[in-house]
Structure 1
């Protein structure tokens, strides 16, 4: 009996164990493939979400909380930064663009961000419809928020 015949005889006799080994092996290969794909996708997604943000000036506390709140807009605001610290950072000649953020309120779960049109420059964004705000108490909504809140231009 050859080695190949012996191997198939073993598989026929212990088919359940062989099937389990194949399934576990396939799951292992899938997990490694997903991890390798994530290693490439996570930094790319972070660069896209951060836009051009290289420096975030904020109140004392966790640097991670500050970046999550101000750059990625996924956590709650932690406090206020002094005008002196913000002015000092903005005055640095290495700063290409800067924008103030005032966070804290929301409309039906959608965050309200008080800022200036300079924020559009920081993220290198553009408006798909409508016009930029140019006075107090005006707003620009993201497309997803506008759909969810049933709001239109006007």
Structure 2
């Protein structure tokens, strides 16, 4: 006997508690309509594997469409259509939110990389400036030394003559 059939045989007070478990996110009509399929799935695998969960959700939607198309009661078929649309909209919203989050992460990473590149450029520029200043200082020192040596040579030449 399926779990769903066992639940339906519970006492009224217990059935009222079951009623609190179901809401608009996953209505009881869908649980009943898809009872056999739902109970045959490996939900534990889906909990730990996002791609598996996605496949199972797609399969759930396919099964819901199948049950809805076979439903003879017009009102029940209409309600199932609304539920199916709600599930699809929730999935789209969650996917969009996930994409926005990923885009935000990508933008932050790009900004961080850009900042690091700028900092590296500044560091290189500072290094280049220091090297240029050191070279200028060395050149100035060399020029002064040459001038002093020239002056000493001229003084020595005068003294020798």
Fold shared, TM-score > 0.5 on shorter chain: no
The structure in which a higher percent of residues are strand is 1
The structure in which a higher percent of residues are helix is 2
**Bigger Rg, structure 1 or 2:** 2
TM-score, scaled relative to structure 1: 0.31
